[in-house]
Structure formats: structure tokens, C-alpha cells
Structure 1
Amino acid sequence: MKMDKQFLDILSNVHQDFSGWDFSYITATGRMGSQLLSWSYGSMAIPLIQKANSMLDMGTGGGELLSMLSPLPKRVFATEGYLPNVPIARKRLEPLGVKVVQIDEDSHLPFEDNQFDLILNKHESYCPEEIRRIISDDGIFLTQQSGGLDCREINETFGVPLNEEFNHWNLETAVLEIEANGFEVLTSKEEFPLQRFYDVGSLIYYLKAIPWQVPGFEPEKYLTKIYEIHQIIQEKGFFDVSQHRFIIKSRPI
């Protein structure tokens, strides 16, 4: 298959490093955009933070989001399971008084019973039983999750099945798990907003940053499929996929 020069030029410039949890390389430049949700995780989190005495941010990444939600309570912890992110998060968050803890298992967190009156979790796995153990009796657990059908069109185009382990992961399943572990759900919503790629370079960058979407992804391995997407973008101006997002605000009962 003969590929046009523009496509080959894009492929020769897709080696930008990704660190922390910062997609600004492709979002701030307008190369990838996402449809707005009907809720704002940050706007929901801020008033909860202002009322909290002790809080935990689970899966803080490089601490990008948490660092922008100040002022923070006096007692703040953040967890991160991806080792390369830990020093990035510590550099950003420790000057703000946040203790960053590297973890290996969601089901065994190094915290005391009833330690936190607020637990935040954005796009991070969690164990409902362990959340119930470490949250205070009058605490709040706020989580926004990426569902199991996230960006399924990428997998369909590449001929790669979605991860079977997470196919079931949706609002209904999460609510049932949380309620079964002693929580009352106060707010819950689920939506499938569009995510738009305006060039295949942004798609390649995205897939390298989230290796669980297409395991073992390398551009050379999927060159024909990537070129097909490039042609779609040349014709339509973009390539759309569906995100899968849901949010739950709950409290112990």
C-alpha cells in the first residue's frame, strides 16, 4: 500500500515523551478534543475538599489535578501505583503538604481504619471493601471512572478485542458493588461523550500513553489500520470514538 507523504511525515514525529497524567501535548494544541460531560468532577470535588479535615486522592498520577484543587486540608495523602509517576507527584505535591504513597494493591492500603473523611478517585481502580475500611463514618467517596467500553471504536478498527477483565465495568456494576459494601449512593451518572482526533499522530500519542487500550501497541504493528484512520481524517477532518464515563458520590451507612 502506497502511503502519502503527510502520513509518513506524521509517523516520523510521534516520539514525544509522556509523563505523569498530562495530555496537554495533544489537547492544548487542539489535536485531540473531548465532548463535555454534564458534570464536572473538579467542581464536585472542591466544596468537599473545603469541608474536609483529612482526605485521600487515589491514583494521583503526577499530581496534576490535585495540585489545582487547593486550598487543601492539613492532612492530605495521595496514592500512585505507577512507579514512574511517583517522583513526579512527590515533586509537585509535597511542597503543598501532601504525602505521596506508592501502592501495589488496592485491597491493602497502608492507612488506618476510618482515617479519611473524604476520598477522591478519578479514573483509578479501587476495592470497595477497603474504601469502606479507611473512610470515616460521616465521610464522602467521590469517584469518576472510565468504563469498560471506553474508545471501543479504536479496538474495532484495529481488530483488537476490548479487555475482557473490564468489559463489565459500568455504572450499574459499580453502584451494586459500592452499595454491597455499606455505602449509600448520593449521585450517579453515566455518559458516552465523543473524543475526536484530528490527526493520527495524536492518536498514536494517546495509545502510547494508555497501553491497556491496545496491549503491545506499536505504530509499525498496526501501520495499515493507522493509515486507514489517516484516510478517514483526510476525508472527514477527524476520527471520532466514544468515551465511557461515570461518576458516583456516596457515603457510608
Structure 2
Amino acid sequence: MNVPGDKDRATLRKAVFGLPEIDYKEWYDRVGAQIGWDFGGIRCRVENAAWDFYEVVAKYCDGRTVLLDIGCGGGEKLIGLAAKVFLLIGIDASAAMIQAAQNNLLQTGLANVRFFQMRAQGLMFPDGFFQCVSCRHCSFDAGEVARVLAKDGVFLTQQVSEGDKLNIKRAFGRGQNYGQPDGTQKAAYERELKQAGFREVQALEYDAAEYYQTAGDLLFLLKHAPIVPDFGEVPGDWEIFRRLVAEFQTGKGIYTNARRYLFIARK
């Protein structure tokens, strides 16, 4: 598949996020996949979110902070923290994500940001190297995080609860952690953090409303996020998607929920 240039990408984005009532599967197969991992154009209105994760992280940073972000992805939001810290390091297990982050970094001219391909379960940094570690919607190893954090350092992680996107999971009869009691993973992570030696573990959570402006916005999310495993590959998925859009269409957009929890843990 040819990679689209900037003008082609702009045309594709207009086609994607202004998607009319068409054959969704045919559209995605022909056009949607070419946009790759660029989530920036998804139009989604969020109501009643109790915090913005990276704004919370910024409160624990200053000009002396060396910050590690686990699961940085393309680094778009993380780069915004560069002015708040002395050094910012982002890691991701995906080579494609790190390449995207490097490309995004080149456009900024920032000198205090580094990106590396690395697994969260094997952090290749010295003991006590970081004053702050963040992790958004990515698995982590509590022991490794504790090892690389300096004394009195802070670990912040936002994760997706089992009750997230519940109407979508129910429609398809499958989904990320579908069927597990809400709070199962949260309780397991809290135990791991305490066993790793974190002396203070604060937990917060919210359940916000999300309204995706068009079917194209929601479709792009489902094809690029692990909300519904193998979305579009299971017989009947496209018809279920049509019914879902019709049932949850509101004046604000297509409704679903975003259920999140946040740990703030001090070593």
C-alpha cells in the first residue's frame, strides 16, 4: 500500500471523519486503513472526565525532573510535557510507534526528549534514575517501575476499566476484559504496587460520557484500538456496527462511555 503524502492524507481525513452513510466495511478496506495510527482527527466530545492524565503528571514535575513515560505511542501528548521537565524519555514496545514518535519529535526541535523501543517488563535504565514515571493505557511491571524510581519518586498510571465502552461490548458480545467484574484489574494492580514497595497508593476513578461525531470517527477507533477483538473480521460485525450507530446516535454524537482509573503511587 502506498503511504499518502500530506495533501493526500488531508483528503483521506476529510473522507474518513465526514463519513456519510455508506458501506462501512468497503470504506475501511479501501480508504480508512491508509491513515495508519493517526488518531488526531477523531472528533469526540467528552463530558464529566474528572482529570486529564498528562495535566496530572505535569503537577508532579519541575525543571529538575527526569520523567519516563511507559507506552508512549506516537508521543503526541507526551511531547507537551517537555517544557515542564529536565529530561523526558518515552518508551514503547512497538517499533512503528517509536518511529512515529521520532517523526513527531523532529518537527518540534526539542532537545530534552528521547524515545526508545523497549519493553515495560525490562527497563534498561539504572536504579533510581527517574523522579517521575507515567503510564497511560499500557501494562507495566510494578517492580521495574519501583526499581528505576528515585526515593520519594512518583508513579502515575491511568488504565481502562472493565466497564469501559460497555454498550459497544454488549452489542458485539465480546470486548476488552468483557465479562470481568468492574475493578478486577484495578485491585490486582493495587496489590502489585504495594508489594513492590510503594508506600502511598492513591486511587481515583471516573465514568465519563463520550460522543463520537460521526460513524467514521467511531469506526476508526474500533479498527485501531483493542476494544472489540478482531473487529470487522467476525461475521455479522458490520451489521452490528450499523445497528449500534443507529441505536446510540444522539444530538451530541454517537454515545458510549469512558471508564478510567488512576493510581498515584509514591515510592
TM-score class, shorter: 0.7 to 0.9
Q: Is the 8 A contact 1:143 1:248 kept in 2?
A: yes
Q: Is the 8 A contact 2:82 2:113 kept in 1?
A: no
Unaligned residue ranges in structure 1 (runs of 5+): 1-5
Deviation at 1:150, TM superposition (A): 1.8
Residue correspondence of structure 1 range 16-35 to structure 2 within 5 A: 16=32, 17-20=34-37, 22-27=38-43, 32-35=44-47
CA distance in 1 between partners of 2:152 and 2:200 (Å): 13
Deviation at 1:135, TM superposition (A): 0.6
Q: In the TM superposition, what whole-angstrom CA distance separates every residue of 1:19-66 from its partner, at most 9, and x where no partner exists?
A: 45x533222xxxx32223222323222232215432211111111011
Q: Could you tell me which residue of structure 1 aligns to residue 224 of structure 2?
A: 209
Q: Could you tell me which residue of structure 2 aligns to residue 123 of structure 1?
A: 137
Q: Could you tell me which residue of structure 2 aligns to residue 39 of structure 1?
A: 51
Deviation at 1:233, TM superposition (A): 4.7
1:152 paired with 2:170, answer: no
**How many residues are paired up?**
240
Q: Is the 8 A contact 1:193 1:242 kept in 2?
A: yes
Stretch of structure 1 that moved more, 120-129 or 224-233: 224-233
Residue correspondence of structure 1 range 1-253 to structure 2 within 5 A: 7-8=21-22, 13-14=27-28, 15-16=31-32, 17-20=34-37, 22-27=38-43, 32-93=44-105, 95-96=109-110, 97-103=112-118, 105-163=119-177, 169-185=184-200, 187-210=202-225, 212-218=226-232, 221=235, 222-233=237-248, 238-252=253-267
Q: Is the 8 A contact 1:7 1:227 kept in 2?
A: no
Specify the SS of the correspondent of 1:174. helix
2:125 alignment partner AA? F
2:240 alignment partner AA? K
Q: 1:185 to 1:172 in 2, by over 3 A?
A: farther
Q: Could you tell me which residue of structure 2 aligns to residue 3 of structure 1?
A: none
1:127 alignment partner AA? D
Q: In the TM superposition, what whole-angstrom CA distance separates every residue of 1:95-127 from its partner, at most 9, and x where no partner exists?
A: 423221102x32211111111111111212101
CA distance in 1 between partners of 2:114 and 2:179 (Å): 31
Q: 1:237 to 1:67 in 2, by over 3 A?
A: closer
Deviation at 1:13, TM superposition (A): 4.2
Stretch of structure 1 that moved more, 132-141 or 164-173: 164-173
Q: Is the 8 A contact 1:145 1:245 kept in 2?
A: yes
CA distance in 1 between partners of 2:214 and 2:185 (Å): 29
Specify the SS of the correspondent of 1:25. coil
TM-score where L is the length of structure 1: 0.82
CA distance in 2 between partners of 1:175 and 1:147 (Å): 13
Q: In the TM superposition, what whole-angstrom CA distance separates every residue of 1:159-197 from its partner, at most 9, and x where no partner exists?
A: 225436986654333222211211133532111112223
Q: Is the 8 A contact 1:57 1:79 kept in 2?
A: yes
CA-based RMSD of the aligned residues comes to 2.7
Q: Is the 8 A contact 2:121 2:144 kept in 1?
A: yes
Q: 1:71 to 1:238 in 2, by over 3 A?
A: closer
Deviation at 1:134, TM superposition (A): 0.7
TM-score where L is the length of structure 2: 0.78
Specify the SS of the correspondent of 1:50. coil
- Percent identity of paired positions between Structure 1 and Structure 2: 22
Deviation at 1:236, TM superposition (A): 6.7
Unaligned residue ranges in structure 2 (runs of 5+): 1-19
CA distance in 2 between partners of 1:50 and 1:165 (Å): 41
Q: Is the 8 A contact 1:19 1:85 kept in 2?
A: no
CA distance in 2 between partners of 1:9 and 1:233 (Å): 19
Specify the SS of the correspondent of 2:140. coil
